[in-house]
Amino acid sequence: ILNVEQSPQSLHVQEGDSTNFTCSFPSSNFYALHWYRWETAKSPEALFVMTLNGDEKKKGRISATLNTKEGYSYLYIKGSQPEDSATYLCAFKNYGGSQGNLIFGKGTKLSVKP
């Protein structure tokens, strides 16, 4: 059974703080790692798709890194704002597995206080 772990489960920070979360996944047969942001009552929003070991991606104040050999990805948010409050999900796809599905972690719920 393939397992994707995310930590911490929840996080409360003050506006302006920088923060980071971890996603751990099986390192064998790696294919792709996805990050999503899911605000309450909205659709999950795709942030990044990462495929290569050492990949670093950036979107505004949010960035992510990928280590496929040890099976982890970090998501960083610089200078958190209240609008960053959301659940951040990572999802893993492996070779030889399902062609279609992503295997999700349980998410990290971020709350940013003004």
Interface positions with other proteins (CB under 8 A)? 4, 6, 31-32, 34, 36, 41-46, 49, 51, 89, 91, 93, 98-107
Report the candidate in 102, 105, 92, 88 with the shortest Cα–Cα distance to residue 44: 88
Provide the minimum distance between the beta carbon of 101 and other proteins in the complex, in angstroms, as a whole number.
3
Nearest distance from residue 18's CB to other proteins, in Å?
A: 25
To other proteins, the closest distance from the beta carbon of 103 in angstroms equals: 7
Name the residue nearer to other proteins (CB basis): 93 or 112.
93
Those residues with Cβ within 8 angstroms of residue 73's Cβ, 6 or more apart along the chain or in another chain: 22, 23, 25, 33, 35, 50, 64, 65, 66, 67, 90
Q: Are strands 19-24 and 72-77 parallel, antiparallel or unpaired?
A: antiparallel
Instruction: Assess contact for 63 and 30: CB atoms under 8 A.
Output: no
- Toward other proteins, which CB reaches closer, 14 or 40? 40
Comparing CB distances to other proteins, the nearer of 41 and 114 is 41
* Cβ 49 to other proteins shortest distance, Å: 5
Cβ-based nearer residue to other proteins, 1 or 14: 1
